[in-house]
Amino acid sequence: MYIPRSLFSSAYAHLKANAHFATSSILILCALDTDSICATRILTSLLKRDYIQYQIKPIAGYQDLERVNVSLIRGNEALRFVICLGLGGLIDISAFLDLGDAGGETEVECWIIDGRRPWNLENIYGGGKGDDDPSVRGGAVEGGRHGVGEGIGGIKCFDDGDIADDMGKQAEAFKALMEMPEMDDDSDSSDDDDDNQDSEDEEAGGGVHLVLDSEDGSSQTNGKKRKSSEEPDESDDEDGSHSRARRQRRDSDASSGASTSSTPIVNRHTILSHGMNRPLASSSPPINSDIGSPTPQLPAPRQLSTKQLRRKLRRLRQKHTTAISAYYAQGTWYGEPVSSLLYALASDLGREDNDILWLSIVGVCSGETYGRTISSGPPRAIAGNWIVDTREEQVLAILRDEVRRLNPPDITTPPNQNQSTALQTTAKSPNDTAIRISPEFRFMMIRHWSLYDAMLHSSYLGTKLHIWSEHGKKRLHKLLAKMGFSLAQCKQSYTHMDMDLKRSLKEKLERYAPLYGLDGIVKAGFVRCWGWRGCLSAADVGYIIGGILEVGRRGELGTSGHGLSAAAMAAAIKAGNMEAREISEEEVRRQEDLEVEEFVENFWTAFDALEDIEALKSHLPTALLLHRAILRTGTALIEKRQIKPLRAFRLAVVREGPDLPIFTHPNALTKLSIWLSEAIMEQERERGAGGGSRGAKHLPLVVASLNERRDVYTIVGTALGAQVEAMRRIVRRKGREIRKKEREEKKKRLLEEEGLDPLEGDEDDEDGEKKKKKKEEGDEEDSEEDSDDDDEDDEELMKGGRNRFSIAFQEVANSTQARIRIDSFEATVVEVKKEDLAGFLESLSFKSVVG
């Protein structure tokens, strides 16, 4: 079931009406990323205003999700709602959480608010109440303020518009498969040879029950087969939970040291048919009601044999199965940020204020650092140029309007003060807590660093100038020299720079930066002050919160962390005795638990810091440490030529160095991979890779980092280059189309000025008449078809840049003996045992990793 944006407030009213005020009946499960933490802050502020008790539980991965199910959900009679923020969209959540029996007193309602795509169709079309429920129409929740479900229960996904607008084919296929009768494909396989007697397929409705991969690579259903409503279900066990047995099998496999322990991320599209008695063709003869006037009897329709019906049913089912498989096979992408959806809920309730707006802005702005600015559709024209909109840009435009509405300019402020071009670093008064739209540079935390360091560590500027090389640093020095800025001034803290230099910085950058390919280095940003205590931009807060989550105290602990060091563990294993080996395995499991505890501890530190300016300022060094490590590690990989091109992707492996412990966190490693991808794209662009060479494909990048504490590699796959290339292809094609259209209009205008018929031109009258006739008869139809084809081509190009590493990782996990764990909510992150890395990469090189 899904809840459209227009009914967010009705869903909250439903939660408010059914929540217990005396006990904690709401459990909020939050992913460990900045966007999800901001969304949690927004939701909890709404619940506090209604005096609703809740419990927050940070979730590090799928294994942690199963532990929470055992400790907090299963058997909790007081629990009424489970709200998943930033997680759950990729999986069938009912396979991980015991949400109770349908219609039972202990039934729990689950909300999924997640920006990761693709959606798991089981959550949308199979996880809500049945079709008999009056509140469900076509998978969407209908009704007024109190019409969101009769009672509680089911799985409800918050829709940002993708489900209602773009998933009509998937919904039709899912429902059609759900209503199809069961049949045995093997018994009539010989019928496929006879295709001459087939007639057109008749319509059938329905849905599908999807299957997730198990640990050992086989497929298991995440519940019993659904049978017809008249047939009783005798396959339930005493507790009524088939998914519980499946979880127990997964736990037993993990404890017994199974070769793979991958957690399923997306459905594997195995389809099970479900029973419903529904005739496919009518066998009743036509009835002649006029007895007095004999009329010729129409021939009765030819009745299809059972074999023909089975063959048609199989083909229809194959058609719908292919549609669903194609949806999942696109790979992964991102929808609207979670914090933006929660702000939409607050706005519908009339409770938006500066605090909630600021949290939403921080959550949306943080997506850029993780490469989540994927295009949302075909490009549009602005001032004659074709540009590609991103979901983030569309949301930011709305947030800018909200900033202007909630923070009107002060009419008592002199106009000259409002026109200052320097970055705002101090508040205007002791009580100034307003949010303002301010020009921001694409530098790293410039207010809290020197201008030189901010430019040096900027992912955008550093990769454009090739800052990892001496030549790149000289280019940076030349840029500053052309701007008239001395290195001595630039290496001072920005707050201590000369005021004239700070005022002229924006103008000088806009003048000289394009000479170095730095277009768009100045953009509109957001800044907020907390009186005299401090002033931070939304990007600054995003960097700080990300640093807390990804580094925390890990950088100070060193490689060893807790307990035995990695070297001591390796020595114990090398000794060869069984006792030492058992101790090592036990220590590795303990290190896993300690790592999760560290991640959770960092979560609470970041959660508290979001609304504490002093805590944010105190963690500035942590954020700076992270980005210094990214620059050092990325520079070392490029200078030592450790980025190797393979068959389907490029590979970079981080095995050593002082910053190695930092990149054990998947999000930190993702930031490194984004930095490297941008650097590689700039290298290819300057080498002229677009001339038909292999480099023009912009191969995806795989980055692996050694976790010495657990003797595994954390691997991240990014397809940023392919995604950017897909956008560029659309922009280039649209540019050619608009230039062609301009030439045709110009030619037509010149012919009209000369008094000639544009259809005839300089050709004979006969040719002109033929062209006129052709235009009258077929041009309208042709233009409609061309328009449809262009839209489909644009959509296919945008899908062509999506990240398919999630699918490739699962295929390798199911086809090899490598010890692999897919536990992160980011589907493009995987862990592989150190000694199995080579085999894993070899198998991965034969997979398609870009759609």
- What whole-number distance in Å separates Cα of residue 744 and Cα of residue 741? 5
pLDDT for 167 equals 87
Examine the domain organization and report whether 173 and 107 are in the same domain: no
In a domain, 260, yes or no: yes
Examine the domain organization and report whether 177 and 134 are in the same domain: no
Structure tokens belonging to residue 92: 């069938």
Examine the domain organization and report whether 33 and 137 are in the same domain: yes
In a domain, 243, yes or no: no
Torsion of Cα atoms, 4 then 10 then 14 then 20, to 10°: 110
Examine the domain organization and report whether 143 and 180 are in the same domain: no
Examine the domain organization and report whether 60 and 182 are in the same domain: no
Q: 699 and 645 in contact (C-beta within 8 Å)? A: yes
pLDDT for 138 equals 41
The CATH number linked to 117 is 3.40.50
Examine the domain organization and report whether 63 and 128 are in the same domain: yes
- The 3-class secondary structure across 649-695, one letter per residue, is CEEEEECCCCCHHHHHCHHHHHHHHHHHHHHHHHHHHHCCCCCCCHH
For the whole model, what pTM was predicted? 0.77
- What whole-number distance in Å separates Cα of residue 759 and Cα of residue 25? 73
In a domain, 454, yes or no: no
In a domain, 762, yes or no: no
Domain, as residue range, for 599: 548-719+803-844
Examine the domain organization and report whether 77 and 200 are in the same domain: no
In a domain, 486, yes or no: no
Q: 175 and 224 in contact (C-beta within 8 Å)? A: no
| Nearest in space to 730 (alpha carbons), one of 375, 475, 401 | 375
Examine the domain organization and report whether 67 and 213 are in the same domain: no
Examine the domain organization and report whether 73 and 203 are in the same domain: no
- Amino acid identity of residue 280, one-letter, is L
Separation in Å, CA 175 to CA 86, 171, 178, 272, 273: 27, 6, 5, 12, 11
- What whole-number distance in Å separates Cα of residue 110 and Cα of residue 230? 28
In a domain, 91, yes or no: yes
| End-of-domain residue from the set 121, 136, 160 | 160
Running along the chain, 851 residues long, what does each successive block of 10 average in pLDDT?
89 90 91 95 95 94 92 90 94 88 66 92 72 42 42 85 87 88 58 47 37 38 36 40 44 40 36 30 36 50 75 88 90 90 94 94 89 54 49 84 88 55 80 89 87 88 86 90 90 88 88 85 89 91 93 56 41 43 65 85 94 92 92 92 88 91 91 90 71 58 91 88 62 68 77 64 49 48 44 46 82 86 89 91 81 54
- What whole-number distance in Å separates Cα of residue 375 and Cα of residue 541? 24
Separation in Å, CA 164 to CA 70, 158, 324, 329, 708: 34, 11, 16, 20, 46
Beta strands 109-113 and 154-158, pairing class? parallel
pLDDT for 722 equals 61
pLDDT for 59 equals 94
Dihedral sign for Cα 180, 185, 191, 194, please.
Answer: positive
In a domain, 751, yes or no: no
pLDDT for 705 equals 94
What's the burial of 226, exposed, middle or buried (CB within 10 Å: 0-12/13-18/19+)?
A: middle
What is the total count of domains within the chain? 3
Examine the domain organization and report whether 34 and 114 are in the same domain: yes
Structure tokens belonging to residue 740: 């062609």
| End-of-domain residue from the set 136, 160, 184 | 160
- What whole-number distance in Å separates Cα of residue 98 and Cα of residue 75? 9
Examine the domain organization and report whether 134 and 256 are in the same domain: no
Question: How would you label 139-171 residue by residue, b for 16+ Cβ within 10 Å and e otherwise?
Answer: bbbebeeeebbeebbbbbbbbbebbbeebeebb
ω into 118 cis (within 30 of 0): yes
Examine the domain organization and report whether 86 and 196 are in the same domain: no
- What whole-number distance in Å separates Cα of residue 181 and Cα of residue 484? 77
Question: How would you label 36-62 residue by residue, b for 16+ Cβ within 10 Å and e otherwise?
Answer: bbbbbbbbbbbbeeeebebebbbbbbb
pLDDT for 206 equals 38
In a domain, 820, yes or no: yes
Q: 164 and 1 in contact (C-beta within 8 Å)? A: no
Separation in Å, CA 733 to CA 19, 33, 738, 746, 827: 54, 37, 9, 20, 32
